Amino acid sequence: MKKTIITFALTSAMIMTPTLTLAGGNHHHEQQKPLAYTGAIETTSVAELLNDTSMFTEKNVIVDGYIVRQINKDTFIFSDSETDIQVELDDVYLEQALNNETRIRIFGEYEGGNTPEIEVDHIQIL
């Protein structure tokens, strides 16, 4: 009986060791900050986006401007100082508050239709 228990314990240890080793690594990545690129980037104006309001239009975009007002919990009006568009900020978190004078860069997906909008993936404060 003792021999069976020892054999079982050793076999279990041999099977679990690689799994535990792989599961325990790379915790140092949790403390690293995301990449903060500050070089040139191609942005689009809101007016260019609104030239195509087909309900089948979907494209990744980057726009610079300001959030000028809040419509409801996740929906805001964004302006690039010339044209306004609705933006949806679902699951977007920032460490600091924004106001209508905070210049930001929005990375998201533009969707045409009756109410064209940008579904925001990420915001960068400029």
For residues 50 and 115, is the Cβ–Cβ distance under 8 A?
Answer: no
In the chain, alpha helices (H): 2-24, 46-50
Fold assignment, 46-125 = OB fold (Dihydrolipoamide Acetyltransferase, E2P) (2.40.50)
For residues 29 and 87, is the Cβ–Cβ distance under 8 A?
Answer: no
pLDDT digits (tens, 9 = 90+) for 79-107: 999 999 999 998 888 888 889 999 999 99
Q: Nearest-CA neighbor of 119 among 104, 106, 103?
A: 106
Domain borders along the chain are 2-31, 46-125
pLDDT digits (tens, 9 = 90+) for 36-77: 667 778 899 999 999 998 989 999 999 999 999 999 999 999
